[in-house]
Amino acid sequence: MNTAPIGIFDSGIGGLTVARAIYERLPHESTVYFGDTARVPYGPKSPDTVRRYSLEILDWLLRQQVKAVVVACNTSTAHALDTLQQHSPVPVIGVIEPGARAAGSASTAGPIGVIGTAGTIASNAYARAIQRRRPEAAVEQRACPLFVPLVEEGWFDHPAAELIAREYLKPLREARVDTLVLGCTHYPLLKPLIQQVMGEEVRLIDSGEETAAVVERVLERGGLVAPQGTRVTHRFVVSDDEARFRQVGARFIGERLSRAEVVPLD
What's the chain's length in residues?
266
Q: Using CB under 8 A, which residues numbered 81 to 140 contact its own copies? A: 118
Active site annotation includes 184: yes
Task: Choose between 28 and 163: whose C-beta lies nearer to its own copies.
Answer: 163
Q: Which entry of 184, 189, 224, 257 is annotated as an active-site residue?
A: 184
Residue whose C-alpha is closest to residue 258's, from 240, 241, 246, 243: 246
Which residues partner with 142 through β-bridges? 115
- β-strand partners of 92: 69
Identify residue 73 by its one-letter amino acid code.
C
Question: Which one from 73, 81, 214, 238 is the annotated catalytic residue?
Answer: 73
* Helix (H) / strand (E) containing 216: helix 207-221
Measure the CA–CA gap between 136 and 178, rounded to whole angstroms: 15
CB-count burial class (<10 Å; 0-12, 13-18, 19+) for 24: exposed
235 binds its own copies (CB under 8 A): no
Mask of contacts with its own copies, 167-196, x by CB under 8 A?
A: x-----------------------------
Contact region for its own copies (CB under 8 A) — 67-75, 144-152, 201-209, 228-236? 144-152
If the CB atoms of residues 140 and 242 are measured against its own copies, the closer one turns out to be 242
Residue 5 per-residue DSSP state? P
Of positions 153, 157, 220, 261, contacts its own copies by CB under 8 A: 153
Name the site residues for its own copies (rule: CB under 8 A).
Answer: 37-40, 44-46, 49, 118, 145-146, 148-150, 152-153, 155, 158-160, 163-164, 167, 240-241, 244, 266
Q: Active-site residue numbers? A: 73, 184
